[in-house]
Amino acid sequence: MSQASGNTPGVPAIQVSSLSKSFPTGWLGLDRRLVLRDLSLVVHHNEIFGYLGPNGSGKTTTLKILMGLLFPDRGSVTILGSPLGSAAWRYRCGFLPEHPYFYDYLTAREYLDYVGRLFSLPAALRAERARDLLERVGLAQVAGIPLRRFSKGMVQRLGIAQALMNDPEIVFLDEPMSGLDPIGRHLVRNIILELKRRGRTVFFSTHILSDAETLCDRVALLRSGELLKVGRLDEILGLDVLHLEVVISGVDGAVLAALPGVKQRHSMGERWRLDVEEPALGSVVRAVEAAGGRILSVYPVRQSLEEYFFKEMAGSESDEREWGLAD
């Protein structure tokens, strides 16, 4: 498959300006509930952009607006320089919806062929792409089985494959890891990284923070339909070391209790793990050596995205519960 091409210099991959969306509520639908407020962001070419937020924060609504499934109340969107109403960008994008459902009377191969027809791909290319993609997502062995016999994870893998059928320049993925086992997640992570290597842009929403931390060049953080922050992870989280994690051995617990700058200590059999404030590291090392102990490791601990989010979400317990931290 070819490298991404046709990007106009200075034109972002995705530009969202002052986007707002509300839905009717109440018996007669006369009231409106605002789910996106004045959202503006830019996604550059060839970056992996993570769109993060708790359930109900507006991630899927944003993606549906970007894909033309919902109409915004206000604001504008351009994708690859084309407005949403234009058909041009649709040939150059792929989309995986959240909890996808595909026609269960079709086989995976038939479904991909159908998708290829919508892109007006010739039959030989459709067959070749379908074969390659099913191989990539690990469904080659079940390509001829009706989708009604697919597990949730297999459907999700097919969802990834259909999003790539047109070899898109931008791929929009709504919760791509949902329903996948560890092997499936590893596979999807690799596909996302491979897309970036090949010059593609990936915009994906997730509430699994570890995925965002390992994959994303930049992230946007969304809360209750409002954009909290956009930027590189190191910009958002800061590079400051929160504390140092020092693992030692051969020292009595009573000695450690008297050490200044030790925030916490945890016994690990014959060893201790100490959370040490950065300025106090020298004095702690000297004290341990003076007591006849050994320094086994020193590891700087920075703020994780998860910690950042909990801090930002403080006061909103319901939001915290929505986070899939177990994932």
Partner 1 sequence: MGTGGLSRVAAVAANTFRETVRERVFYNLLIFAVLMTLSGLLMARLSIRQQDKIIKDLGLACIDVFGIVIAIFIGVGLVAKELERRSLHPLLAKPLTRDEFFLGKFAGLGMTLLVNVAVMTAGLYLTLWTVESRPDPRMLKGIYALYLGLLLIVSLALLLSTLTSTTMAALVTLCLVVAGRFSDVIRNMRVVAPAVPDWLVQALYYAIPNFRNFDFKDRIAYGDPVPLAALGWVTLYAAVYIGIVLGVGARVFRSKDLV
By CB under 8 A, residue 103 contacts partner 1: yes
Contacts of 28-32 with C-beta under 8 Å, sequence gap 24+, read none
By CB under 8 A, residue 124 contacts partner 1: no
By CB under 8 A, residue 179 contacts partner 1: no
Question: What is the token pair recorded at 96?
Answer: 């995986």
Among 100, 176, 184, 261, the residue binding partner 1 under the rule CB under 8 A is: 100
The residue among 170 and 288 lying less far from partner 1, judged by its C-beta, is 170
By CB under 8 A, residue 261 contacts partner 1: no
Residues 6 or more apart in contact with residue 179 via CB below 8 angstroms: 99, 152, 153, 155, 156
By CB under 8 A, residue 125 contacts partner 1: no
Rounded Cα distance, 213 and 211, in Å: 5
Please name the amino acid found at residue 17.
S
Q: Give the binding range for partner 1 (CB under 8 A) out of 40-48, 66-74, 207-215, 314-322.
A: 66-74
Q: Give the binding range for partner 1 (CB under 8 A) out of 101-109, 211-219, 278-286, 292-300.
A: 101-109
Among 1, 28, 30, 87, the residue binding partner 1 under the rule CB under 8 A is: 87
Rounded Cα distance, 305 and 45, in Å: 24
- DSSP result, 174-190: ESTTTT--HHHHHHHHH
By CB under 8 A, residue 188 contacts partner 1: no
By CB under 8 A, residue 160 contacts partner 1: no
By CB under 8 A, residue 67 contacts partner 1: yes
By CB under 8 A, residue 122 contacts partner 1: no
* 178-to-89, 264, 321 alpha-carbon distances in Å: 26, 36, 17
Cα–Cα nearest to 237, from 218, 223, 261: 218
The residue among 49 and 95 lying less far from partner 1, judged by its C-beta, is 95
Rounded Cα distance, 243 and 301, in Å: 5
Cβ proximity of 48 and 216 under 8 Å: yes
By CB under 8 A, residue 142 contacts partner 1: no
The residue among 114 and 310 lying less far from partner 1, judged by its C-beta, is 114
Q: What are phi and psi of 249, to 5 degrees?
A: -145, 165
User: How many residues in the shown chain lie near partner 1 by CB under 8 A?
Assistant: 32
Rounded Cα distance, 318 and 327, in Å: 18
By CB under 8 A, residue 166 contacts partner 1: yes
Residue whose token pair is 């969304």: 222
By CB under 8 A, residue 159 contacts partner 1: yes
Q: Give the binding range for partner 1 (CB under 8 A) out of 11-19, 90-98, 190-198, 235-243.
A: 90-98
Cα–Cα nearest to 106, from 146, 140, 165: 146
Binding site for partner 1 (CB under 8 A): 23, 64, 67-71, 87, 90-91, 93, 95-97, 99-103, 105-106, 114-115, 117-120, 159, 162-163, 166, 172
